[in-house]
Amino acid sequence: MVTLENEYLRVGINALGAQLSSIIDKRDGMEHIWQANPAVWAYHSPNLFPVVGGCINDSILVDGKTFPIKRHGFARNIPFKKIESSPNHAQFALRYNEETLNSFPYKFEFQVVYHLDKNQLRVMYKVINLDNKTVYFSLGAHPAFNVPFGDDEQYEDYFVEFEKSEPLISHQLNNQGFFNGETQTIPSNENKLNLKNELFIKDALVFKSLASRKVKIKSTNHNKHIAIEYPHFNYLGLWAKPGAPFLCIEPWLGCADTDAQQTEFSKKEAIQQVEHGHVFETEFCMSIIND
């Protein structure tokens, strides 16, 4: 476990999946990351690469050849190499190997970089093309935040506040986790989405056309909140295991397949690419506001 720390926060990162495993607010001692109860959901904040969501037949089609790959990709279950760390910075890398080539036929290095600045944690993703061809991929974040923050509150005391007032049009998933072509407008109060356990009975809420690039997890009882900013991510997922005390805020560059519509990987919805000799970079950040 790598620890980043300053006067505001103490952050823990596990080399397995380069996964953020803890954010403790030193001002009040609260842990804000879900502690991965395996009986409920066994992750804290997995990094999703090289696919986001499920692929039809648990496979991708590259140059006419099928490659097996599981939901959300393999990066979250593979140990990363720590490249460097300091009290407020850590960098991890996963380089292609024989095993990854069996699922994802590209030569790459996927880096996850964490930087702690006061009460904010920035997370940068880098995809380095080590191949002699274009590398296609998807990536995403999946941090699970403890909700409620304290033992004296209820899940229903909380809401998600969007940066802008806009329709919350969710693209629906079927029982296999694939888009079914249908949408639903989620009831909200201007830019506020009230949390309730039944919100996620039919799986995640997936927004593909939000203008908002910042959301906050807030309570009706106090001013402390968490702000997540994702300026370069076009899709956003919200998810929780129904009845579990957490909420996942998921900025994505990529998404699950649409049912019965598997396509060539390079043509997949929301696919990203990085050319030979180039590096793809993007980042999001989360802040613990405790005024």
186-206 pLDDT tens trace:
999 989 999 998 999 989 999
Which residue, 62, 219, 74, is CA-closest to 146?
219
pLDDT, tens digit, 9 for 90 and up, residues 191-250: 999 999 899 998 999 999 999 999 999 999 999 999 999 999 999 999 999 999 999 999
User: What tens-digit pLDDT sequence spans the chain (291 residues)?
Assistant: 999 999 999 999 999 999 999 999 999 999 999 999 999 999 999 999 999 999 999 999 999 999 999 999 999 999 999 999 999 999 999 999 999 999 999 999 999 999 999 999 999 999 999 999 999 999 999 999 999 999 899 999 999 999 999 999 999 999 999 999 999 999 999 899 999 989 999 899 999 999 999 999 999 999 999 999 999 999 999 999 999 999 999 999 999 999 987 899 999 999 999 999 999 999 999 999 998
**DSSP of 64-75:** TEEEE--TT-SG
Per-residue model confidence (pLDDT) at position 23: 98
User: pTM for the full model?
Assistant: 0.97
Per-residue model confidence (pLDDT) at position 291: 81
Per-residue model confidence (pLDDT) at position 162: 98
- Phi, psi (5° rounding) for residue 146? -65, 125
CA distance 206 to 259: 15
CA distance 183 to 225: 29
Sign of CA dihedral 71, 76, 79, 83: positive
CB 268 within 8 A of CB 247: no
Per-residue model confidence (pLDDT) at position 261: 79
Which residue, 244, 238, 187, is CA-closest to 217?
238
Alpha carbon of residue 237 to chain centroid: 8
Tokens of 14: 């596990």
| CA angle, 50 then 134 then 271, to 5° | 45
CA distance 138 to 131: 17
Which residue, 97, 92, 98, 42, is CA-closest to 72?
42
Sign of CA dihedral 65, 70, 71, 74: negative
**DSSP of 178-204:** -EEEEEEEPP-BTTEEE--GGGGTTS-
